[in-house]
Structure 1
Amino acid sequence: MSDEVIINQTRHWLEQAVIGLNLCPFAKSVYVKNQIRFVVSHAKHLDGFLDDLDRELDLLAQSNPDEIDTTLLIHPSLFPDFEVFNDFLTIADEVVAEHELEGILQIASFHPDFQFAETEIADISNYTNRAPYPTLHLLREESIARAVAAFPNPEAIFERNIETLEKLGLAGWLALGLQQSKAGDAA
């Protein structure tokens, strides 16, 4: 599958779910300003993906936020299993610390089979963090702080997202042209 297809599918998810359903009220402004960097990793193993993460952390930290405010590092095939991907996040956070970027950058994660602790795979709440491919979202903490300060009651976003998805249901999710979990669940 080409990078263009992978990025287009990721853009579709951003437009329809993240922005369209307002799952992240901060995403629209950086998207319309073209400040999101989309990177597809072709690493064949974890070490190669860590090299890609190193490069993207450095690039984002050194970039002007008006040009690149955030990065989506996508790997279409290295992490088919959510548990493996989830375990990898500890290493990814350690990489942020190794780059001395704690308090400057942070990582959020998305996966086609994302599952919050203590939920069933079919719970629609898991779809708040389901993307077409395993994705690391590299974020500037300064941008997050600015967005949160401008948003009334930011702690309610998660609960509102679950309510939105419960009303939408799996059929509504699929009607947006978004994929069902690869685990084949039915919410």
Structure 2
Amino acid sequence: MTDQSIIEATEKWLTRAVIGLNLCPFAKAVHTKKQIRYVVCHADNKADLELALAQELALLASTPTHEIDTTLLIHPFVLTDFFDYNDFLSDTESLLTRMELDGEIQIASFHPDYQFADAPPDDISHYTNRSPYPTLHLIREASIDRAVAAYPDAAVIYERNIETLNQLGLDGWRRIMSE
């Protein structure tokens, strides 16, 4: 695996699933404007990942939105077990607080084995958050606010995504990702 192949796999997932299936109606604009920063983190332990995350949070907070609107911190060598990854998410919230970025940046979570707590392990709904590699998505709150204001009924996105994936099914998902 090279950084380039990891980024290409992530961008393929973004364009085919997230944008292609309209799982996130806000993703297309920042992708088209090339305002997404893709970072491959080579950390192999949580402490080094947290350090890389802190650096990326600081960079995003100090960079104009027109240059970088959002960051995908891809970390294929650490927290590959979903439950370890999920436990780490509370550490990311603590880091946001320590860096005084609460209310400025959010961290969304994506993982190849993502599971929602309220759905069976084999449920297709998990694929709304299944990425090729463990990924922390750093998102500016102001960008979310603008996107939600421009998108009618943003609250129904999750339900629409589940319906889309139920109609697509696992075979359809695999077909889209293998093309």
TM-score range for the pair, normalised by the shorter chain length: over 0.9
Mapping of 1:158-173 within 5 angstroms?
A: 158-173=158-173
Give ranges in structure 2 of 5+ residues lacking alignment: none
How many angstroms apart in 2 are the aligned matches of 1:111 and 1:149? Answer: 28
1:28 equivalent in structure 2: 28
2:10 equivalent in structure 1: 10
1:54 equivalent in structure 2: 54
How many angstroms apart in 1 are the aligned matches of 2:118 and 2:165? Answer: 18
Structure 1 segments of 4 or more deviating over 2 A? none
Mapping of 1:105-184 within 5 angstroms?
A: 105-177=105-177
2:91 equivalent in structure 1: 91
Report how many aligned residue pairs link the two structures. 178
| Deviation sequence 1:63-112 (CA, Å, 0-9, x none) | 01001000000011211210100000000111011110000001000000
Secondary structure of 1:176's counterpart equals: helix
Question: Could you tell me how far 1:167 is from its partner in structure 2?
Answer: 0.3
Mapping of 1:51-90 within 5 angstroms?
A: 51-90=51-90
Percent sequence identity over matched residues?
Answer: 57
Give ranges in structure 1 of 5+ residues lacking alignment: 179-187
How many angstroms apart in 1 are the aligned matches of 2:29 and 2:125? Answer: 24
Secondary structure of 2:34's counterpart equals: coil
How many angstroms apart in 2 are the aligned matches of 1:177 and 1:109? Answer: 20
How many angstroms apart in 2 are the aligned matches of 1:21 and 1:136? Answer: 20
Question: Could you tell me how far 1:45 is from its partner in structure 2?
Answer: 1.2
How many angstroms apart in 1 are the aligned matches of 2:15 and 2:69? Answer: 17
**Would the aligned equivalents of 2:114 and 2:127 in 1 still touch at CA under 8 Å?**
yes
**Would the aligned equivalents of 2:17 and 2:177 in 1 still touch at CA under 8 Å?**
no
Q: Which amino acid aligns with 1:85?
A: Y
Q: Which amino acid aligns with 2:63?
A: S
Question: Could you tell me how far 1:120 is from its partner in structure 2?
Answer: 1.3
TM-score normalised by the chain length of structure 1 = 0.94
Secondary structure of 1:138's counterpart equals: strand
Q: Which amino acid aligns with 1:87?
A: D
How many angstroms apart in 2 are the aligned matches of 1:27 and 1:80? Answer: 25
TM-score normalised by the chain length of structure 2 = 0.98
- When the two chains are superposed, the root-mean-square deviation of aligned CA atoms in Å is 0.7
